[in-house]
């Protein structure tokens, strides 16, 4: 069961009531996120945060992690190689 706690949004400092369509959309989105979260938990998949520099990944807690990325992700990281890249990724437990 999902409970929607807010019934308005703020745009340009003006409070605007949510439409019925907005409420249905946000309820659907919250149910989708709960289902995704439960699936990840059941699959023992964990979320890690950290940074990548010159091919080395270090979590925010200082732990060095070995992982591989898709070729597309690896290319993107290599393009950023001169900089520290902050990242968040899912990793099997």
For residue range 26-71, what is the model confidence (pLDDT) as tens digits? Answer: 889 989 999 998 998 898 888 888 887 766 788 888 888 877 778 8
Nearest CA to 52 among 75, 79, 76, 86?
86
Nearest residue to 25 (alpha-carbon basis) of 47, 48, 45, 2: 2
- Give me the pLDDT at residue 32, please: 93
pLDDT over 70, % of the chain? 83
Give pLDDT, residue 28.
92
In this prediction, residue 65 carries a pLDDT of 82
Phi, psi of 16 (to 5 degrees): -125, 130
Task: Look at residue 69 in the predicted model and tell me its pLDDT.
Answer: 79
Q: What is the dihedral of CA 77, 44, 61, 70, to 10 degrees?
A: -10
- Write down the mean pLDDT value for the chain: 80
């Amino acid at each position: 069961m999902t409970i929607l706690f807010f019934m308005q949004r703020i745009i340009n400092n003006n409070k605007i009531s949510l439409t019925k369509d907005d409420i249905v959309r946000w309820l659907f989105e919250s149910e989708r996120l709960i289902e995704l979260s439960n699936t990840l938990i059941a699959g023992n998949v964990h979320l890690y945060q950290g940074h990548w520099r010159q091919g080395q990944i270090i979590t925010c807690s200082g732990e060095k992690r070995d992982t591989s990325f898709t070729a597309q992700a690896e290319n993107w990281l290599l393009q950023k190689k001169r900089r520290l890249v902050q990242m968040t990724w899912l990793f099997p437990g």
